[in-house]
Amino acid sequence: EAQVTQNPRYLITVTGKKLTVTCSQNMNHEYMSWYRQDPGLGLRQIYYSMNVEVTDKGDVPEGYKVSRKEKRNFPLILESPSPNQTSLYFCASSLSPQGQVRYNEQFFGPGTRLTVL
Amino acid sequence: KQEVTQIPAALSVPEGENLVLNCSFTDSAIYNLQWFRQDPGKGLTSLLLIQSSQREQTSGRLNASLDKSSGRSTLYIAASQPGDSATYLCAVNSNYQLIWGAGTKLIIKP
């Protein structure tokens, strides 16, 4: 089954304790991205990756790191989490950010709800 | 900078009614526009994708239109059902990013 998976689905942690949220897709997509969703603010892009070893900042990259060593994986790293990073996080992928008709639909993972105390 | 607005923020209608959700955007230079559905505690499900060259897309009881020049899209839901209750989000694809509206929370009353 074609899908985007995220782990963990729920995480409660404390300020300053490094954590990683994994994201994996099995659709051979080139483009992957991370979003956070906060009440009243909608979804905002954190980082995106056009392909292996190519990453770029989105609208709210502060406090986050990413890596794209393999095409299928795009982990989100919080080196020193703070309470303002409490949010619902989504990973997404698509075949390419632009491209031919029907190829640029974005597929989303189930979300990771993170609480930083 | 692209901004996306969805009005209304919440909508409650009786079952069986036809309804329209609105999405507006400030910059017409877009690749496409996508409508999503989000159920509480769950991820995002893509409903319809309209390319910038298209005027509308249909899937079952859903019809989405796009007027790029005026910066508007509508999602039409025919014969609404309680199972349609969810938050509906529109997202504009421009410059390698999806820019999102805050969503319309839809409640269909049986």
Would you place residue B1 in the very low, low, confident or very high pLDDT band (cuts 50, 70, 90)?
confident
CA gap B52, B91 in Å, rounded: 13
* Strand pairing report for A112-116 and A87-94: antiparallel
Query: Do the Cβ atoms of A42 and B102 come within 8 Å?
Result: yes
B24 reaches A (C-beta below 8 A): no
- Rounded-to-integer distance, Cα B21 and Cα B63, Å: 11
Q: Looking at beta carbons, which residues of chain A come within 8 Å of B89? A: 42-43
Question: What are phi and psi for residue A42, nearest 5 degrees?
Answer: 70, -165
pLDDT at B96: 67
Pairing outcome for strands B32-38 and B86-94: antiparallel
Instruction: Give yes or no for B9 touching A (CB within 8 A).
Output: no
Q: What confidence tier does B69 reach under pLDDT thresholds 50, 70, 90?
A: very high
A47 in contact with B, Cβ within 8 Å: no
CB contact under 8 A, A40 and B43: no
Phi, psi of B25 (to 5 degrees): -140, 155
For position A102, what pLDDT does the model report? 41
On whether the CB atoms of residues A21 and A115 are closer than 8 A, the answer is no
Task: Quickly count: other Cβ atoms within 10 Å of residue A15's Cβ.
Answer: 11
| Contact criterion met (CB below 8 Å) for B88 and B72 | no
What pLDDT does residue A101 have? 38
The per-residue pLDDT for range B26-35, each reduced to its tens digit, is: 999 888 899 9
What are the tens digits of pLDDT across the range A53-105? 999 999 899 999 999 999 999 999 999 999 999 999 999 998 875 544 344 67
Give the pLDDT of residue A98. 52
B18 to chain A, closest Cα gap in Å = 26
- Between A96-110, B22-36, B83-97, the lowest mean confidence (pLDDT) is in A96-110
Residue identified by tokens 């005027």 is B55
Among chain B residues, the shortest Cα distance to A113 is held by B41
* Region of residue B34 (phi > 0: left; psi between -120 and 50: alpha; otherwise: beta): beta
The percent of residues above 70 in pLDDT, for chain B, comes to 98
Residue A1 has pLDDT above 90, yes or no: no
Asked if B32 is an interface residue toward chain A (Cβ–Cβ < 8 A), one would say yes
Which position has the higher pLDDT, B90 or B43? Answer: B90
Average pLDDT of chain A is 90
Q: Does A44 touch chain B (CB under 8 A)?
A: yes
- Asked if A43 and B89 come within 8 Å (Cβ–Cβ), the reply is yes
A30 close to B (CB below 8 A): no
Q: Do A107 and B51 touch (CB under 8 A)?
A: no
- CA A93 to CA B10: how far, in whole Å? 29
B/e letters for A27-59, b = 16+ CB within 10 Å, e = fewer, are eebbbbbbbbbeeeebbbbbbbbbeeeebeebe
pLDDT value of position A97: 54
